[in-house]
Structure 1
Amino acid sequence: MKHIKLVSILSLTLLTLGACGASNQEGTDTNTKQETTSKESNNDDKKAVKDIKKTTFNTNDSKELKTNAYNIKITDHKVIPAGEEGNEYGKEAIIAFWYETTASKDEDESDNLTPMKAWMSSFIATQGKDKNLSIAPLNDDSFDETQKETIKPGETIKGATAYKLINEETPVELTAQNISGETFGSLTFDVK
């Protein structure tokens, strides 16, 4: 009886060790695939940064950011104090931007470009000595659905984004930049 238990335990141990070895082998394959994917991703990132370098930001009247993949035109902006329409639940004043995002006719629909993705990957808002502003909720029902809609090639979709203000005195600087931090221009918005 003891002999059968011993053989059973040894068999179970061998099976477990065998499974660990197979699992470890699979892990190696997965790591290789991840490294390959990571290298491909890095190449895509470099391509994206290269493409983004074709960007222009018209800081004059049109307030339009143009890239080879999409354009963003700022159509309006407004400071909304806490408690007022559009910022009913906020404790701080916000600055809101309304804009139109147009996908290039050559844009690949599989990129799932949305107005929100385009804005967030293109702009940074600061107030004062380079103090980044955080995104704030904007109660504008007309953009709830369109913010997340995929923009088809050549199509334009409206969007809106808001930032919490640090104070209501210092102007906000909206800077267009790419993922590597290269800037393409800035616009200054008075908040008084």
Structure 2
Amino acid sequence: MSDAPYPAAPTQPAEPRPPQRAAGNPFGITSLILGIVAMVGFAIPFFNYVTVAVGAVGLILGIVGLVVKFRPRKAAVAGVILSGLGLVLSIILAVVYTAVFAGAAKAISSSETVPPAATSSSSAAAGDTSEASFKDGVLTTPKMKVTITSHRLIPVGQPGNEYGDKPVIAIVYTTTNLTSEAIDPTTAWIGSFQAFQDNDPNAVNELNIGSTPGDQYLDSQTEKIKQGGTVENAVAYELDDETTPVKLTAKENLFSDDLGSVTYELQ
């Protein structure tokens, strides 16, 4: 009888486990964060040029988060929506702001070099306009005449301020073109007026322009006014409180001295 050991039974090699994918969706989460940044910053002048790039990157990462089989996908879906919307809105407002500031610069340049023929037509249309002036709510320059017709406080959620998060003061005005060069009401106003609330003990508090106070002014704000023509428009300034008066100052252009001011009580 042999004492030789029995051969060991062959062992089956272990089946390889499928690779484990890390939990979470880093592309989707990053896309969501960038989308929130794009939506928050798209309406801020100059910063919306940055949010164009932020929205584009967020959109790309969100799409990657959907294509690659990460779980969950909710963050990627939200990131794609917010980044895409922020990208579109940033591009639109970047174009609008660029046009407005370019128009303001052009208005300033042309107001400083008014041709003799235009100056002559100004005198005929508005009397002696050799010097710019602001009196009784009327700004008169060799280029134009801006007449403030009314103002009112609009709280948050009220008609004319349905989508804002601050109360606004809405100012209705007419713009008359005194030259042969077409101008628009928005550029004329931005290049000549500034609004302030004296509620900061340490610094000058210049108010920001808000949304157009009323759908009836959506078209008039960009209309090109012909020589001798008059167009009504409105502008709104975001208020820090509803009690401190608003001081509106007028200039011939952004770089000239103040011609005068008017103070509006809010109560």
TM-score by length of 1: 0.68
| 1:48 and 2:122 matched | no
Instruction: Find the aligned partners of 2:112 and 2:152 in 1 and give their Cα distance.
Output: 31
Which amino acid is 2:188 matched to? A
Q: CA deviation at 1:99?
A: 0.5
Q: Report the alpha carbon displacement of residue 89 of structure 1 after superposing the two structures with TM.
A: 1.0
* Residue 183 (structure 1) aligns with: 258
1:65 aligned partner, one-letter code: L
For residues 74-127 of structure 1, the C-alpha deviation after alignment (integer angstroms, 9 at most, x for no partner) is 0110000001111011111000000100001xx133xx4101111110100011
Structure 1, unaligned stretches of length 5 or more? 1-40
List per-residue Cα deviations over 1:137-169 (Å, max 9, x = no partner). Answer: 134111111110100000000110000001111
Match of residue 134 from structure 2 = 57
- 8 A contact 2:197–2:205 mirrored in 1: yes
Distance 2:257 2:215 in 1: 34
Residues paired across the two proteins, number: 143
Q: Structure 1 CA distance, aligned partners of 2:171 and 2:196?
A: 14
Does structure 2 conserve the Cα–Cα contact (< 8 Å) formed by 1:98 and 1:160? yes
What is the CA–CA distance in structure 2 between the aligned matches of 1:49 and 1:69, rounded to whole Å? 9
* Structure 2 partner of 1:134: 208
| Aligned equivalents of 2:144, 2:250: Cα separation in 1 | 13
> Aligned-residue CA RMSD in angstroms?
2.3
1:1-192 to structure 2, matched below 5 A, reads 45=109, 48-49=111-112, 54-58=131-135, 60=136, 63-104=137-178, 107-109=179-181, 112-128=182-198, 130-177=204-251, 178-192=253-267
Aligned mates of 1:181, 1:174 — CA distance in 2: 15
Q: Distance in 2 between matches of 1:139 and 1:53?
A: 34
Alpha-carbon separation, structure 1, partners of 2:234 and 2:244: 22
* Deviation string, structure 1 residues 52-92 (Cα, Å, up to 9, x no partner): 9821101x3xx111111110000110000001111011111
- Name which one, 1 or 2, has greater alpha-carbon Rg: 2
SS of alignment partner, residue 244 of structure 2: coil
Conserved? CA contact 1:88–1:139, under 8 Å: no
